[in-house]
Amino acid sequence: MNKRSLRILGFYQVQNMLVRLAPSRMSKEIARRLKPVCEAEEVARSLNDTEEAYRCLQSEASVPMGGIVDIRPALEKARRDVTLEGQDCIDIWNNVRRYGDIRQYFMDKGEEYPQLAEKAEGIGDFSLISHKMAGVFDQNHQIRDNASPELMRLRNRIVELERQTKRYVTGVLQNKEYQKYFQDALVTVRNNRYVVPIKQEYRHAFPGIVHDTSASGSTLYIEPLAIVNANNDLQAARIGETKEIERIFRRLTALVSGQYEDLMDSTKCVATLEFTFAKAQLAQQMKACRPAVSQKGIVRLVQARHPLIDAKAVVPNTIVLGGEYRILLITGSNTGGKTVSMKTLGLLVLMHQAGLFIPVGEDSELPIFRDVFSDIGDEQDISQNLSTFSSHMKQIVYILRHCTADDLILADELGSGTDPAEGSAIAIAVLDALYRKGSYVMVTTHYNDLKNYAYNTPGIENGHVEFDEETLRPTYKLRIGAAGSSHAFSISERLGMPAEILAKAKELRSKAQDVDMEAILTKLNSQSKRMDEEQAELEQKLADVRRIEDELRREKEKVSAKRQDIIDSSRREAFDLKRNLRVEAERIIRELKQQSKDSSDKEKAKAIDQARRAIQQISLPDKEKPRRDPVDPSQLKVGQSVFINSLDGLGTVTEINGKKLTVSVRGMTVRVKLQDVSAPYLDEIKREEQAERKASASSSFRPIRTASVATELNIIGKTYQEALPDVEKFLDQALAAGFSPVRIIHGKGSGALRRQIHEFLDSQPFVKKYALDDVEGGGAGVTLVYF
């Protein structure tokens, strides 16, 4: 594509908007390289990518994009066998986990988003790297103690040496003969060695090595000679820890180096997907859509908006080119929007062929152009001693030499900058040459000769931008089908031109040969404007009728909802009444117990029992529930949303086992029979997705997904107070999932933890019984809990 046109028409500004939306450095680089293309297949494929990403953003609750960092420098280090640093490893670990999420997401939705799924297929499987990294780093990105046996040994030794060294230092601080030497009776660290603060005047009295001094110089930080060896041992252990961590990183570096190619390719695939979603986000911001590709070579941009003008100020215009005419001549007042209309067409064509959606109406269509040429603005070339006219002619000559029938040509004020008669003659000759070549052309002009030429030449159409004669201001509306006047007198009057000068100018103009044509154009444009206003009024009335119809439909839905609210309210009132009756009845029964001392115990118990049974038999009307369609067992599949009748809520099928299903409900796994599930309504699924999005947005906590609830809990090594929260959570989840029995592994030991756990189980009303496991299952070290 012509680089001059990209700059003049504002494509680079749109590109910068896309760069800002791209989330990672890699996707920003792809956005900066974006250029329009002229191959129809490549344009269609790029637009398909944008369309799939746009639909995904519109319809899916969440998309696993973002959170990717540029790991290419780290991959290059690994390829050159340079040991990776901790942050390099963490970045690679985070990325490969995100890669897996992205790949799985689009593989699961391959039918809905086939091109995005095809791109995601290029992401490799890095489960081995992820597993190894997880064995080295914890969720806080700290190196685990058990990253290697040697590291665990060294860290245990460091802990023991630190404890021993602190004990030695505490002994020194508690020595009575040293008390007067201390500035403060505390232990601190300098140069990774434990020291004590000593007053300056006692530096020679206290045996030790000076490591630092305070800012004031009144305090010295001295390592007592008694703990030098302990500090040396501690330092040696720390050096060993550092070397062992470096060895672990070398092992991870070799692992990454072995998969360098796959990691680099996957990184590029993910960057491409991020860029595709940046295009979709840009479409959302612009309220843009995808125009159809015209097979007949017709440009029809319905209510097109210039994407670089504020959406609140831009005036939409419908631009039609091709078919009966391929050259459109735009006339009208200065500052009336002629150039903006032309730039809108050019920029939207460039965006379309770069795979971007454009801000137009749904019925729009565009052909694929080979190139876009533009001659817009005054680019006077002082360095080459070229005037405005010369600069324009130089560009027009270039266009005439290189353009074809498949090109779009935009020329502003063709033939201007020289004698009007000569300029209009040159402009007509240029248009005639372009007409013979069959190019698509949009030209602005003030020359009446060009207006006449367009009226008298088939395949060339006039158009104009409106001017409001009452306010003496342009409306920026483009009208195709008639030429317009320049309104120079009206604009001059609005800008303060003296009346006597205007009068003289009008007198001179009235003597011109083409004055009648100007009057005819003004009258014709006024009639055209009235017809458009009448059409707009009819369209508004039709829209009002449709709006009233929608309001009536919504009112009907409100009445139905209100009826259900009344039923629900009645049920709540009945429930409250029943509860109050029960409370009152229990009070009466208590009074009966106190007053009926003369009756036998058997008669009193019988009367009380009869009263309670009568109260329990008070029933409430069932809530009116809509009939639901049963689920077809043959069509049921994992991942499908179903309505669980017994729980009165939605769930997602995670496993199918004959006539029994395992269903995930809000992070909890339950087992239900096939007959207990029904087909959900679409609005229920939408409400559930909205609730999940709202919960996700209101909290930064992201729970780790689990496939199912655990059936055993290991609390060996914990105290009762440490283990109790885990035991309570474990029992709650197992009870909700329907598991019975479950195992609590507490170990044998002294038996104290086992006794405390059993005492806790005795206090739980939902525990039916508990017992020790058999010898093969762990014996006295394991308790089986039955619900």
Q: What's the CA gap between 316 and 312, in Å, rounded?
A: 11
CA 119 to chain centre: 19
The candidate with the shortest Cα–Cα distance to 407, out of 367, 458, 463, is 367
Q: What's the CA gap between 662 and 653, in Å, rounded?
A: 6
Q: What's the CA gap between 592 and 598, in Å, rounded?
A: 11
With helix as H, strand as E and coil as C, how does 130-179 read? HHHHHHHECCCCCECHHHCHHHHHHHHHHHHHHHHHHHHHHHHHCCHHHH
Q: What's the CA gap between 464 and 444, in Å, rounded?
A: 9
How big is the chain, counted in residues?
Answer: 787
Q: Residue 144: what residue type?
A: R
The candidate with the shortest Cα–Cα distance to 621, out of 572, 660, 669, 549, is 572
Report whether 338 belongs to an annotated binding site.
yes
Report whether 165 belongs to an annotated binding site.
no
Q: What's the CA gap between 27 and 25, in Å, rounded?
A: 6
Report whether 332 belongs to an annotated binding site.
yes
Q: What's the CA gap between 606 and 314, in Å, rounded?
A: 85
SS3 label, residue 36: coil
Report whether 171 belongs to an annotated binding site.
no
C-alpha separations of 326 from 299, 305, 318, 392, 462 in Å: 9, 21, 16, 22, 11
Strand order in the sheet with 327-331: 371-375, 407-411, 440-444, 327-331, 460-468, 473-480
Contacts of residue 512, Cβ cutoff 8 Å, sequence gap at least 6:
none
Residue 736 tokens read as 């909700």
**What's the DSSP call for residue 325?**
B
Q: What's the CA gap between 47 and 305, in Å, rounded?
A: 19
The candidate with the shortest Cα–Cα distance to 624, out of 537, 557, 694, 565, is 565
Residue 118 tokens read as 């095809």
Q: Residue 763: what residue type?
A: S
C-alpha separations of 555 from 237, 548, 550 in Å: 78, 10, 9
**What's the DSSP call for residue 674?**
G
Q: What's the CA gap between 750 and 19, in Å, rounded?
A: 65
User: Are the CB atoms for 439 and 409 separated by under 8 Å?
Assistant: yes
**What's the DSSP call for residue 84?**
P
**What's the DSSP call for residue 385?**
T
Residue 250 tokens read as 């070398």
Report whether 166 belongs to an annotated binding site.
no
In the numeric block, the tokens 């062929």 are attached to 353
Q: What's the CA gap between 59 and 363, in Å, rounded?
A: 22
User: Are the CB atoms for 329 and 463 separated by under 8 Å?
Assistant: yes
CB atoms closer than 10 angstroms to residue 684:
13
* Helix (H) or strand (E) segment spanning residue 479: strand 473-480
Residue 36 tokens read as 């329009």
SS3 label, residue 213: strand
Q: Percentages helix, strand, coil for the chain, rounded to the nearest 5?
A: 55, 15, 30
Task: Indicate the pairing of strand 660-665 with strand 649-657.
Answer: antiparallel
Contacts of residue 689, Cβ cutoff 8 Å, sequence gap at least 6:
61
User: Are the CB atoms for 93 and 129 separated by under 8 Å?
Assistant: yes
Q: DSSP string covering 564-612, please?
A: HHHHHHHHHHHHHHHHHHHHHHHHHHHHHHHH-TTS-HHHHHHHHHHHH
CB atoms closer than 10 angstroms to residue 144:
15
SS3 label, residue 673: strand
Report whether 706 belongs to an annotated binding site.
no
- Which amino acids are annotated as binding site, given as ranges? 332-339
- Which amino acids are annotated as binding site for ATP, given as ranges? 332-339
